[in-house]
Amino acid sequence: MAKKTNTSIYIAALILLLAGVGALLYTGFSEGSVYFLNVKEALAMPPEKLASARLFGTVSGQELARTEDGRTVTFRLVDKDSPSHTLPVTYTGVVPDTFKPGAEVIVEGSPQSDGVFRAATLMTKCPSKYQKENREKNGL
């Protein structure tokens, strides 16, 4: 009789363990999901669907401004394939050295009600001089 009781306890513990792991996986995937879009796709989506998004584009030379302390930058993100589509972006944080007009960047954040995309993360794509093929051509 004791053996039957222990088996039911093990089954109940296994069910609770699986339910806990399932809940962790569900919350991890639902909270961590981020759209990866170009500017044209982001502009076509309703803002409520873009609670969190990662956008790819090119920094426009127009409307590029930094605050005096250099930690906040505002710029227009231009769609690489469709330059007529642009999106205003504001980022506060450490700005990469390679950030300049024409640089390809990835910003992660969310659109605000004023139409500005507030970026929490700003990454620049490495210039081609750092890519392996070009290093070999230049004898590096």
Q: Is residue 9 part of a domain?
A: yes
Looking at the structure, do residues 11 and 61 belong to the same domain, yes or no? no
Give the position of tokens 């044209």.
40
Structural domain for 78, as ranges: 34-130
Looking at the structure, do residues 10 and 76 belong to the same domain, yes or no? no
Domains: count for the chain? 2
Q: Is residue 135 part of a domain?
A: no
* Residue 61 structure tokens: 């030379």
Looking at the structure, do residues 40 and 26 belong to the same domain, yes or no? no
> Residues near 99 by Cβ (< 8 Å), separated by ≥ 6?
59, 73, 105, 122, 124
Looking at the structure, do residues 39 and 28 belong to the same domain, yes or no? no
Is the pTM here over 0.85, yes or no?
Answer: no
Q: Is residue 106 part of a domain?
A: yes
Looking at the structure, do residues 79 and 109 belong to the same domain, yes or no? yes
* pLDDT tens column, 23-55: 887 776 655 556 678 888 888 887 777 778 889
Nearest-10 Cα torsion for 39, 44, 45, 51: 30
Looking at the structure, do residues 19 and 61 belong to the same domain, yes or no? no
Supply the pLDDT for residue 135: 45
Phi, psi of 58 (to 5 degrees): -115, 140
Supply the pLDDT for residue 46: 78
Looking at the structure, do residues 118 and 104 belong to the same domain, yes or no? yes
User: In angstroms, how far is CA 130 from the centroid of its own chain?
Assistant: 23
* pLDDT tens column, 47-95: 777 778 889 999 998 888 888 887 899 999 999 888 899 999 999 998 8
Looking at the structure, do residues 48 and 80 belong to the same domain, yes or no? yes
Specify the CATH number for the domain of residue 124.
Answer: 2.40.50.140
Q: Is residue 113 part of a domain?
A: yes
Looking at the structure, do residues 67 and 122 belong to the same domain, yes or no? yes
- Going by their DSSP bridges, the two strands 86-92 and 104-111 should be labelled as unpaired
> Residues near 97 by Cβ (< 8 Å), separated by ≥ 6?
none
Phi, psi of 41 (to 5 degrees): -65, -40
Looking at the structure, do residues 82 and 93 belong to the same domain, yes or no? yes
Nearest-10 Cα torsion for 82, 112, 63, 107: -60
Looking at the structure, do residues 53 and 6 belong to the same domain, yes or no? no
